[in-house]
Each structure stands twice: as C-alpha cells, then as structure tokens.
Amino acid sequence: MNVPPTNAEPGLDLAGIFNGIDFKGLKSVVVAVSGGSDSLALLHLLIDYRAGRTTFPEIIAVTIDHGLRRESADEAHFVARLCEKLGIAHRILSWDGPKPVTGLSAKARDVRYNLLCLAARDAAAEMVLTGHTLDDQIETFVMRSARTGEGGSERGLAGMALATLLDREIWLVRPLLDVSREQLRDYLRRRGIVWRDDPSNDNPKYERVRIRKALRNADRQEIACEIAEKANKRRLLSNMVAQFLPHCVTIYDGIRAEISRENWVLQEQDAQHLAIAVLMATIGGQSFLPPAENCDKAVQYICSQHSSGRITMNRCVLQLKNDKALIYREMRSLQEVNVDPGTIAIWDGRYRISNHTNRSIKVTATGARGVEFLGDARPTDFHRPSTLSSPALFLDGEIVDVPAVSDHVKLPDGISVTRHLALFDHILSGYDEILAQSVAETFQLQGYKRSPVNQINKN
C-alpha cells in the first residue's frame, strides 16, 4: 500500500492539495515557476507529494520571461539554478517582440498561457500547474464585483476555477486556491527557501495592487465563503442547462438552432437566460456571453404568445416560426480571411480552417454566389438565410466548398474545416465543463477532454 509521507507543515495538507488531481497515466506535468513565493512553494510541495508516490509524472518547471523588467531574465535564471539543484527539468520561454501600450496585463496573461501550452505540447504533457492562491482568488472576486456593479456578468464572481481547459488540449490546474500566500511563505521560511519578489506587485498603478492593499483588514474567510457560494451556484445552473438543452434545441448543419417553444417555457427562468446566452454566443461566433438585458429581451420574445416576425441581436437573427424559434447568424460583419499555406485560421469565431497545401485559401460568407454553387446538391432541409452567412472556401478565385451544407467532395486534400465554439474552445472554465460537453453534443461535435480534477470536492 502506498502511504503518503506525514505532512510536517502546519496548515498545509499535501493530500488535501493534490489528492483531488488525477496524475495517473501522465508522462509529465508542467509547473509554472516565476521565482515568486507562490510558484516556488507549489514546486516544492509537488516534490514533497511525489516523494510519497511509487509512480509519478516527470515534473518540468517552466519560467516565462515577459521581458517587461530588467530583472526578469535574472529571475528566470535564478529559477533555473534552483531547479538544477533539485534535479528538476527546467525551461525558460521568452515573450519576444513589441509590447502593447494598452492592455498590457491582459496581453501578458494571454502570452503566458500560450507559452505554457507550447511547453506542455513539447513535453507531451496534458496538464500545467500554476500557483494561484486564495489571495489571488479573493482579489479576483473583488475586482469582478466592481465590474458586476457596472453591468458585468455575475458568473465571474465564482472566481477562478480549480481547472481550466486551454485550446481543447491542456488543462491548467490551480491546486493552491484554498491556501493563503502567507501560509506558503511560512512553508518556504521554515525550509530556508528564498524567493524573488516582483516589484510590480507593489505598484499602485495596477488595479490588483490597489485591491490587495484595500483588503488588508478584510474578513477573508467571509469573502472565501461567498466565492464558494457563487461557484456552486454557477456550476449548478450550468449543469441544469446542460441537462435540458438537448431536449429543447436541435442544431441543423451547425449553423441554425431550432428551439421547441413548448419545452422551452417549462424551464426555470435563470436556465432559460443562460441557455439563450450560450446559443447566441455560439451561433454568433463570440467568446463571451451577451449582456443580461439582451438575454432578457430574447427570452421574452421566445416565450411571449404575442411575439412574431424576427429580431436581431448579438450578430444573430431570432425568428419565430409556428411553435419553433430559430436562431442563425445575421448577414453583418462577416469577415474575409486568407489562410496561407501551413497556417490555421478561425473564421467568424465559428470555423477553424487548416491549410496544409501550397496554396492560399480565401474564406468569405457564402452569399448568393455560394448558394448558386450548391445547385441541386442542397440538402432536403436547406435553409437559405443561415446558409448565406455560413462560410465558403475559395481557391484561385473559385468556390470549392460550402462546408456547412456540402459533402466536401471538391475540397482539396490538406484542407480541413471544423466547427469552432468560440465560447469554450479557447478557454473552458471547469465550472462549465458539463455545459460545454452538452453544447458539443448538441452541435454533434467532438467532446471536450475530461477534467483531471474533482471540481466539487476541491472548490
């Protein structure tokens, strides 16, 4: 029997931190290590946990050098030297090129996650661990609370999920969300482990720093309980929608949703609002849910006995037809995209086009020309309005495919077209895992990779 070592660190329970994560079958796991106290503590805790296992994935530490401070390169090499002493493989990945003048923090976060995913792919790892703490969770909650008061979504008040799926491929896991930063620093001090402080963490020009200082005397336990309540509420509502969605909605060709109004009106109001938000975001190719007031209007339109005709919102057309409500992409803001040889592009947030030929592909809305191209090959349930706003592929100025409704007989080898769900395919919060699986099933798409953690027991 494999018995974990006794945890000698007061307040830190290795089993409580890591037992909810399924490491079985993994060849390796990537740990993001910046050199700060949180990530260094995570690395050492994981090494401690590994010591009590008969088998465990290889631990690979990765440091992202954003190149935003003169000290960053030295900090990355500090981590490299530490990992060498620990016998842990280590990589440094840098953010090269110009940096944006505005939105720097958000861009840096995106780059960091992209580089961590790159490191994971190179290592054949399916999981990246990060050192986000309870302090980070509380700060995130407070910042999002302020935005909610300005019209933001309450769903964000659930905070960071224990696990988030990136690009349908890599699970980002945050094992320390229930652990405070001070607990981690006490752990490091007792072991004589030195960390590097990032001076930007004390710069009041950043919102998070201002929030951190404002929270010094706050009741953190009370806030943590409120976050847990919001997280549970979000998860339960998402799961409720996941259950009823396939019974109320039919998807045709991936471009048209047909809602049974008879079944729809039987659902709880909150579930209706989330369901219509998800449908409009998916049909409209958007990575965020529509504003609450638009969802209110859409639900009222679908449920009212006196509604008629059609309305447009969030790049979608909503149309009533007898006992059905249709949703499809409107003919507006449909981009033209060139997909060069050896590249991949996302068209309109709805289609992923891979080009492994030696020729460029142009992707536009199908329009009347594409409908004419289909000719007699139109399916029996052909719906012209939704087809017009679906993609058409051009080679050398000629249409070769209307992928939503054609059988791809003229699509050259080396070109692939798959339906893309902008709401979930890039970033899927663990809170919405079951909902995303339901949406993928409803659209007859490949399901999402299952989470390696027990979200309920860990949150």
**Domain assignments of the chain as residue spans, ordered by start:** 14-228, 253-330, 337-419
pLDDT at site 211: 85
Buried b (16+ CB within 10 A) or exposed e, 16-33: ebbebbebeebebbbbbb
Q: What pLDDT, in 10s, does the model give residues 260-309?
A: 999 999 999 999 999 999 999 999 999 999 999 999 999 999 998 877 78
Euclidean distance between CA atoms 34 and 45, whole angstroms = 15
pLDDT at site 106: 85
Euclidean distance between CA atoms 443 and 254, whole angstroms = 6
pLDDT at site 3: 38
Euclidean distance between CA atoms 91 and 108, whole angstroms = 18
Euclidean distance between CA atoms 281 and 241, whole angstroms = 15
Closest alpha carbon to 245 in 52, 404, 439, 415:
439
Q: Is 316 helix (H, G, I), strand (E, B) or coil?
A: strand
Q: Show Cβ contacts of residue 365 under 8 Å, excluding neighbours closer than 6 positions.
A: 331, 334, 388, 389, 390, 391, 392
Euclidean distance between CA atoms 428 and 113, whole angstroms = 13
pLDDT at site 207: 77
Number of Cβ within 10 Å of residue 97's Cβ equals 7
Please identify which residue in the block is written with the tokens 């490091």: 188
3-state SS string over 323-366? CEEEEEECCCCCCCEEECCCEEEEECCCEEEEECCCCCEEEEEC
pLDDT-flagged residues of the chain (< 50): 1-8, 457, 459
pLDDT at site 2: 38
Euclidean distance between CA atoms 241 and 257, whole angstroms = 15
Instruction: Give one word for 151, left, alpha or beta, with left for phi > 0 and alpha for psi -120 to 50.
Output: left
Backbone angles phi, psi at 201, to 5 degrees: -70, -10
Q: What is the CA radius of gyration of the chain?
A: 25
Kindly state which CATH superfamily the domain 14-228 is placed in: HUPs (3.40.50.620)
Q: Are 314 and 336 in contact (CB under 8 A)?
A: no
Q: Are 30 and 129 in contact (CB under 8 A)?
A: yes
Euclidean distance between CA atoms 226 and 131, whole angstroms = 22
